[in-house]
């Protein structure tokens, strides 16, 4: 399978396609999958996006995704369209972030966790469980803080309309 990048902005120092380590078993795992990145996506400086674990489980970054500097997206994550990931956030392997969700600065998301559509993860959160759609979760470990009132059809617009100070 071939990776495709169209109309994607990639800032300096970005690493796309690096391998990862199996921390439980203390070994390097060869990643044989690819990375797909959708149109209109922005990837901030010094961000790392790992290869997919294997050809059937690629790493997928959707369209119009905004990824700030210093983010880590590990192997086989699926980031759907219109997601915003703020600086320094780290997503472990096989994390799924559904459409329009927002991940706050420095948040850390456990492997195989799913962040629901339109949900928000607060800055500094450590997310160990699935976050349902349209909820805001924060803290260590993360818990529900409250509901998200506004579903963002356009993520940048939603920042203004929802009144979040992000």
Task: Summarize as ranges the residues that interact with ligand COA (CB under 6 A).
Answer: 86-87, 104-105, 122-125, 136, 138-139, 145, 164-166
Cα–Cα distance, 77 to 88 (Å, whole number): 16
Of residues 33 and 138, the one with the C-beta less far from ligand COA = 138
CB contact set of 23 (below 8 Å; sequence gap of 6+) = none
The CB-of-21 to ligand COA minimum distance in angstroms stands at 27
Of residues 14 and 123, the one with the C-beta less far from ligand COA = 123
**Catalytic, out of 36, 75, 86, 98:** 75
The CB-of-22 to ligand COA minimum distance in angstroms stands at 29
The CB-of-147 to ligand COA minimum distance in angstroms stands at 11
Known active-site residue 75: yes
DSSP labels for 19-88?
-EEETTTTEEE-----EEE-TT-EE-TT-EEEPPSBTTB-EEE-TT-EE-TT-EE-TT-EE-TT-EE-TT
Of residues 51 and 65, the one with the C-beta less far from ligand COA = 65
Handedness of CA 81, 150, 86, 160 (dihedral sign): positive
Tell me the catalytic residues: 75
């Amino acid at each position: 399978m071939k990776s495709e990048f169209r109309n994607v902005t990639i800032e300096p120092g970005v690493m796309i396609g690096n391998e990862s380590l199996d921390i439980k078993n203390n070994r390097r795992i060869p990643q044989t999958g690819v990375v797909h990145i959708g149109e209109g996506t922005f990837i901030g400086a010094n961000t790392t996006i790992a290869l997919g674990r294997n050809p059937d489980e690629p790493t997928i970054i959707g369209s119009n995704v905004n990824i700030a500097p210093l983010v880590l997206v590990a192997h086989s994550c699926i980031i759907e369209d219109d997601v915003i990931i703020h600086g320094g956030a780290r997503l472990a392997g096989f994390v799924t972030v559904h459409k329009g969700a927002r991940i706050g600065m420095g948040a850390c998301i456990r492997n195989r966790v799913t962040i629901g559509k339109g949900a928000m993860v607060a800055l500094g959160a450590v997310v160990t469980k699935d976050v349902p759609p349209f909820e805001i979760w924060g803290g260590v470990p993360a818990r529900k803080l409250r509901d998200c009132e506004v579903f963002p059809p356009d993520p940048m617009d939603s920042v203004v309309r929802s009144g979040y100070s992000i």
